[in-house]
Structure 1
Amino acid sequence: MTVADVYVEFGAREARDVSPSYERLAYQVASDRELLDRLAGLPEPKRQPNLLFAVVRLLGGPVTDPAGFRAFALERWDEIAAQMLVRATQTNEAGRTAALLPVLAALPQPLALIDVGASAGLCLFPDRYAYRYGARTVGAGLPLLDCTATGFTTPTRLPRVVWRAGLDLNPLDVTDPDDVAWLDALIWPEHTHRRERLRQAVAVARADPPYLVRGDAVTDLPALAAQAPAGATLVVFHTSMVYQLPDPQAFADVVRSLPARWVAVEDPALTGAALPAPPSDALYNVLSLDGVPLAWVRGHGQSVTWFAQDSLT
């Protein structure tokens, strides 16, 4: 797939009906030879639209005006490229916990959680947020996470978490304004509700900063898992992270070797299983438990469409 193809697909499948600004930018970049040539000079994992657009936002550039974006990007490309090389799309979307909750609430309690690719660890607090699945609300407080639930009975309780930890090559610090600014830059321009949600989730995490370990998802996960308390169900989970790994199979082998339940929200291509048709042509991830696909999930946790028949437990 060419760089132009990547941007066309992003515009058509990820940004369409979600972010008109990013849809326009994606198509512009896909047709702009100067920008494509500059992107081609970066390592493949660093060419992704989310990373480019977030860095431009971080540097104060325009992302709602394609002409202004192009001028800014070409004029300050060296600075943009330098930032893209050292940063990653560590989108720490608390809304994704709404997709995790049906599984976490059904597992034997209490839970010990490890988020692999934790960023700032905001997804480590599924027991501290509130959720609204249609007419049913679970939990109290802020943020209140809205999720459209189809094909399953929504949870009636929050999980009981007695230990939580995150693993990341570059963990972000919720008490560091610069790290929080990067998380904000990763939020798409029209998504004011996500920006408010980020502020609320950061407030939760700052009140009880999560235990985050700088390390590799493959080589350092077993040692972190060994720190989990006895008597709790150990759950290793991750959301939209595996695409960044050099060897996803090695990671899967390590997780399967642990005395843990494995919850993932990832690209459907990574399941290796036959799946039913998704609800629409939009981009969906797949929620799975111990490698068994359960449901289609929109990228920010805004909808869960269940297709599995077997019991969660």
Structure 2
Amino acid sequence: MTGDVYREFAEREARGVSPAYERLALAVADDAEVLALLGTVPPARRQPNLLFAVVRSLGGPVDDPEAFARYVVRRWAAVAAGLRVRATQTNEAGRCAVLLPVLAALPQPLALLEVGASAGLCLYPDRYSYRYGDVAVGSGGPVLECAAAGVTPPAAPPRVVWRAGLDLNPLDVRRAADLAWLEALVWPEQVHRRDRLRAAAAVAAADPPLLVRGDLVDDLPALAARAPAGATLVVFHTSVLYQVPPARRDAFAAVVRGLPGHWVANEAAEVLPHPRLPEPPDRTLHNVLALDGRPLAWTRPHGQGMSWFG
């Protein structure tokens, strides 16, 4: 039920992170009129993150649940249109912090291929700097902070010689409208994430990646074949497969396993299951970081923390 989705979002994702979105999600979960309107769009278009970002992009209020509900009802035609054409392409550069220990340990140099790349901001792990508690890594772009348990941070970022992304609707941070949508996806109180997004966007704008419009099953092999010889191909994705039907997830896994190089996945456990996982550190939402199908760590959705067990 849609109400349950919003209630779970409030309790597992927004609580302690975004008071505004926690309040909105709990209010929507109990609002029969708003839930009835959401029932008129496809299930994949009813996500809390998507609804809230669409309303923000239209200039609607997100700090007052009652005003939010009135706006959604009054402007439903515009809101529904946004839900149907937009996607939660949250391009969080902070996720590079949980990918870094895996990427830095692979044979260098790397050819990175991100599936569900959005604007490609996670294709620059070599251009950012990192802070894991008292340990600093790198000296570039925005500083990505991550609470890491059970793993020693790498001494240096990886060396990347090729970067490409595959997405059904790739975004270009050099276009004002695309950057504005990415900013709308950042939660209201998270000024640090908005600043980080803008800093990462500046990195990408200065040296744009190869972004290809295509399907993660049908078009992946051709793009992977463009990776340069002599570099380790790494196909990776993070918080992407929940938007893909289960049968296509299976087809994607079969394709990526047949490619040369390595596969790095960072997805929710119910989306990309692994047998015999340990218990997560707490009840908040976690992804599972895996290398070539082997689970390694629990990770927080925006890269703010990881607990290594592999």
TM-score normalised per structure 2: 0.98
Whether 1:153 aligns to 2:152 is yes
- Give the corresponding residue for 1:275: 277
- Give the corresponding residue for 1:301: 303
- Give the corresponding residue for 2:288: 286
- Give the corresponding residue for 1:311: none
The CA deviation at 1:273 is 1.6
The CA deviation at 1:141 is 2.8
Report the Cα distance in structure 1 between the residues aligned to 2:261 and 2:186, rounded to whole angstroms. 32
**Residues 43-192 of structure 1 correspond to what in structure 2 (within 5 A)?**
43-192=42-191
Partner letter of residue 70 of structure 1?
Answer: A
Post-superposition Cα deviations, 1:225-256, rounded to whole Å, max 9, x if no partner, equal 00000110000000000111122100100000
The CA deviation at 1:67 is 1.2
- Give the corresponding residue for 1:216: 215
Partner letter of residue 118 of structure 1?
Answer: A
- Give the corresponding residue for 1:205: 204
Alpha-carbon contact 2:126-2:157 (below 8 Å) kept: yes
RMSD of the TM alignment (CA)? 0.6
Report the Cα distance in structure 2 between the residues aligned to 1:164 and 1:21, rounded to whole angstroms. 36
Alpha-carbon contact 1:165-1:211 (below 8 Å) kept: yes
The CA deviation at 1:174 is 1.1
Q: Identity over the aligned pairs, expressed in percent?
A: 66
Partner of 1:274: helix, strand, or coil?
coil
Partner letter of residue 253 of structure 1?
Answer: A
Alpha-carbon contact 2:150-2:307 (below 8 Å) kept: yes
Partner of 1:145: helix, strand, or coil?
strand
The CA deviation at 1:24 is 0.5
Partner letter of residue 294 of structure 2?
Answer: V
- Give the corresponding residue for 1:12: 11
Partner letter of residue 180 of structure 1?
Answer: L
Post-superposition Cα deviations, 1:73-124, rounded to whole Å, max 9, x if no partner, equal 1110110000110010000000000000000000000000000000000000
Partner letter of residue 93 of structure 2?
Answer: A
Structure 2, unmatched stretches of 5+, are none
Partner letter of residue 269 of structure 2?
Answer: P
Structure 1, unmatched stretches of 5+, are 309-313
Report the Cα distance in structure 1 between the residues aligned to 2:107 and 2:261, rounded to whole angstroms. 12
- Give the corresponding residue for 1:250: 251
Report the Cα distance in structure 2 between the residues aligned to 1:273 and 1:20, rounded to whole angstroms. 34
Partner of 1:219: helix, strand, or coil?
coil
Partner letter of residue 238 of structure 1?
Answer: H
Report the Cα distance in structure 1 between the residues aligned to 2:86 and 2:261, rounded to whole angstroms. 30
Query: Which range moves more in the overlay, 91-100 or 238-247?
Result: 238-247
- Give the corresponding residue for 2:236: 237
Post-superposition Cα deviations, 1:30-64, rounded to whole Å, max 9, x if no partner, equal 00000000001110100000000000010111111
Partner of 1:91: helix, strand, or coil?
coil
The CA deviation at 1:268 is 1.1
Partner of 2:63: helix, strand, or coil?
coil
Alpha-carbon contact 1:119-1:168 (below 8 Å) kept: yes
Q: Across the two proteins, how many residue pairs are aligned to each other?
A: 307
Report the Cα distance in structure 2 between the residues aligned to 1:41 and 1:251, rounded to whole angstroms. 30
Report the Cα distance in structure 1 between the residues aligned to 2:78 and 2:261, rounded to whole angstroms. 43
Report the Cα distance in structure 1 between the residues aligned to 2:110 and 2:3, rounded to whole angstroms. 44
Alpha-carbon contact 1:271-1:293 (below 8 Å) kept: no
Report the Cα distance in structure 2 between the residues aligned to 1:268 and 1:274, rounded to whole angstroms. 11
The CA deviation at 1:72 is 0.9
The CA deviation at 1:301 is 0.2
Alpha-carbon contact 1:271-1:291 (below 8 Å) kept: no
Partner letter of residue 6 of structure 1?
Answer: V
Report the Cα distance in structure 2 between the residues aligned to 1:62 and 1:142, rounded to whole angstroms. 32
Report the Cα distance in structure 2 between the residues aligned to 1:272 and 1:158, rounded to whole angstroms. 28
The CA deviation at 1:272 is 2.9
Partner of 1:120: helix, strand, or coil?
coil
Q: Which stretches of structure 1, 4 residues or longer, exceed 4 Å deviation after superposition?
A: none
Report the Cα distance in structure 2 between the residues aligned to 1:65 and 1:217, rounded to whole angstroms. 39
